[in-house]
Structures are given as C-alpha cells and as structure tokens.
Structure 1
C-alpha cells in the first residue's frame, strides 16, 4: 500500500499580544495609553518614602517639588509622541541615598510602515530604518540590523542636540531599536533609549548605559496569547 506522504501541518505561533523588557526594580513603568495620573502619583509617593529620615527638612520640600516637576514633564513629553509606555529610573540605587536621577528614559511606541520590496521581494532592514527614522531629519546616525526574538530588528544610535525651547537643556545619547512585529509586517515595535550620561552624552557613564540598554534589548521577548 502507498504510504501517506502528507507532511504534518506546521505549528502556528500564537499571535503577539505584547512585549517583555527585563529592567531593574529602580525603573518604573508609566502606561501612556490611558490616564497617567494614578501611576504618576503612586510612583512619586513611593519615591518620597525613600528620602532618608535624617534629610534636612528645609531641603525635602523643594526636592519633592523638583522631582515631581521633572517627572511630570518627562511624562508629558512622552505623551505628545503618542507612545505606549514610558520607563524612568525613579528609585535610588542604594539604601538611604538622597539622589534620584531622571537622566535616562526608555520610550516604547509603535510605527506603521509597509516594508519596501527589493528585487528578491524582501525588505532591506536599513531601507526600513531610513523610512521609520528619517522623519526627524537626523543625519549621520549609526545604523545596524539583525534579529531580536526571531524578528527583524534595526538599531540606530546618535547624539541629539539640546533644545531649550522644548525644555531639553542638555544634549543626549539616543539608541532606538525598531523591531518587526511577527505576523504583521506593517507594524514595528520601537524602543527608544535616551541618556544625558554624566552631563556629556559621550562620557563613560553614557557609554555604560548604552551597553546596558543593548543588553536589555538582547533579552527582549514577545508576549503571545
């Protein structure tokens, strides 16, 4: 009798329902798709409880107000970009430290853009990056491509100039990862990291933070239903 040569159906991956970033607990997540006030209030109240008990009373009030001002400003700027989530480092690195730095951030968003087709019918990663990222007029960026969690990914790194008119007093080092969403070639996940380093976007602290963010993205994973 002839044998059945029909191959078993390939396993269909579950659709993507979200993403996962592994971040230290010093980083707080602020969802931007809905009202942020509740999340902002909880994060700030938690930060206030970490102020040392022996901190000078005449400095605590101004410190709280400045932290809240800078934190809310960062959230407001992120909302203007129609992002999905904002991550900020709002907890001290050690016990008893009276030092909360907002000198870095991660903004997660989504872009819709069809892939261009080349002669072989495949989209060129750097071509996609130019389409996605040339809208802001940035030139001389460092572009590279590869895969993250089996998805096409493009990485861009550049230094953005200060813009006092928009409340940006210092230049910043920026690294963006643009990752194709599985099952939907027109959708692109974007994770944009920004840091002022120690005041110089090319200093050792900035270099270390960029390496750290690259490690975070190396461990990026999709959530599936």
Structure 2
C-alpha cells in the first residue's frame, strides 16, 4: 500500500477534509514522492529495488544501467513536480526479463472553478471539454463522482525533428488515461491521476490493453486517508 499527504489548506468544516490518500500498488511498482523525500526515494530505488536488470545487459553494465534509469526518473520527477505533482509511480522490477514502460502521476489540479459549484457540474463541464481523439466517462472513485478520460498521444513530428537524438529515440505514441477526482470536503480542491504507456509499441495490442486495465484496477483501490 502506498500513501501520500495532501498539501493542507483550511477545510470548509474543521476535521472533515482528508489529509492524504492511499492506494494498493502492483508488485514491483514504487512511489516517488515529489514534494519532499524525492532524493531518498530515488536512492532506495537505485540500490534496493533495482537489483535486477533486463536480459541482455552484461553484469559489468548493471550499474551504468541503474544510473541511466535514475537520470530518467529524476527528469520525469522534475517535470511532474512543475505540473503540481504529488507522487510519481512506476515499475522498477523487470517482468519476463523486460522493464514495463508505464507510469502514473498523482497531482493537484488548478481547475479554478467556483468553490460553491457542485462537483457534478464541474465534472460535466470537463467531460464536455474532452477532445475528438479521446473519450470521457463519469465514474465513481472512493465513493464520490469522478471523471475518467482516455486518449492517445503522439509526438509532434515538427518538434521531434529539432529535438536531440536521444529524445527522438524515446519519443513514442502512448495510451493515456486520466482520472479527475474532487477532494472530499476539500474546499473546492481537486486531484488528477494520470497514466501513460507506449505498451509494446502497438497501442491496440492485448498487452497494452492489459497495462491500462492494471492502472484502472489500481485506481479502484484509491481511498482517502484521515490520519
């Protein structure tokens, strides 16, 4: 189980707003906190969780692989923190000899809506803003109305041509799923849970679909923490 604290603001009624959230992670996944403790979590991932390396990497190159992985995670964590991220989650154990290319971020959302507006009205507006390449569905998370949006993303060819070669090699089309959830009695606050994966390179494959289903199952374990 993983848990994270929310940045506290005065609730509408003292003692009714959750202090954080909890969820159950699949085996091999870890949480990287983005507000504090990031460095310590990265050290733990580097030296404890990454004792294995993918098949095909020589033993002598294991440390280099771990350091490269850490740099990639640090870059991802910095980008997530700039966008209001609270926590970054990703798999760090290889499955079947390979590392899964997937991650999700829990973040605070600057929706900027009237705090008096009911959550249902906000969710309806967000659903109507969904683009033509995606779909939005009203769902329930932790006993409250929420929104699930799914879509696909692809790198901009024009921007990609001018990007460094390393970026071009790692830029892949991705399946993305976002949950938008109101903080219970949270004074008009919202969070999002954003998932992204290129799967096995085929966004319509069974393997990619299984990763999306895995993420949906993780969100199904989400609950608020009041301690």
Measured at CA, do residues 37 and 155 of structure 1 come closer, stay the same or move farther in structure 2, by a change above 3 Å? Answer: same
TM-fit CA distance, 1:158: 0.3
Residue of structure 2 in register with 1:158 after alignment: 151
TM-fit CA distance, 1:206: 1.4
Q: How does 1:74-113 map to 2 (within 5 A)?
A: 74-93=76-95, 97=97, 99-101=98-100, 103-113=101-111
- Counterpart contact for 2:142–2:223, Cα < 8 Å: yes
Cα distance in 1 for partners of 2:59, 2:186 equals: 55
Partner of 1:92: helix, strand, or coil?
coil
1:8-53, Cα deviation, whole Å (9 max, x unpaired): xxxx98431111111123111011012522211111111342349x
Cα distance in 2 for partners of 1:35, 1:116 equals: 31
Residue of structure 2 in register with 1:221 after alignment: 223
Partner of 1:84: helix, strand, or coil?
strand
Larger radius of gyration: 1
Cα distance in 1 for partners of 2:119, 2:38 equals: 42
| TM-score for both structures, normalised by structure 2 | 0.76
1:112-163, Cα deviation, whole Å (9 max, x unpaired): 4325989x996152313456xx7xxx54320010221221200100001125
Per mean C-alpha deviation after superposition, the further-off stretch among 200-209 and 122-131 is: 122-131
Cα distance in 1 for partners of 2:107, 2:59 equals: 40
Measured at CA, do residues 79 and 130 of structure 1 come closer, stay the same or move farther in structure 2, by a change above 3 Å? Answer: farther
- Counterpart contact for 2:149–2:179, Cα < 8 Å: yes
Cα distance in 2 for partners of 1:203, 1:155 equals: 21
Please point out which of 25, 28, 32 is paired with 2:27.
Answer: 25
Give the unaligned 5+ runs of structure 2: 1-13
- Counterpart contact for 2:18–2:186, Cα < 8 Å: no
Residue of structure 2 in register with 1:5 after alignment: none
Coordinate RMSD, CA, aligned: 3.1
| TM-score for both structures, normalised by structure 1 | 0.76
1:139-190, Cα deviation, whole Å (9 max, x unpaired): 4320010221221200100001125449451011000000111113621121
Cα distance in 2 for partners of 1:221, 1:43 equals: 25
Give the unaligned 5+ runs of structure 1: 1-11
Measured at CA, do residues 13 and 144 of structure 1 come closer, stay the same or move farther in structure 2, by a change above 3 Å? Answer: farther
Cα distance in 1 for partners of 2:215, 2:202 equals: 17
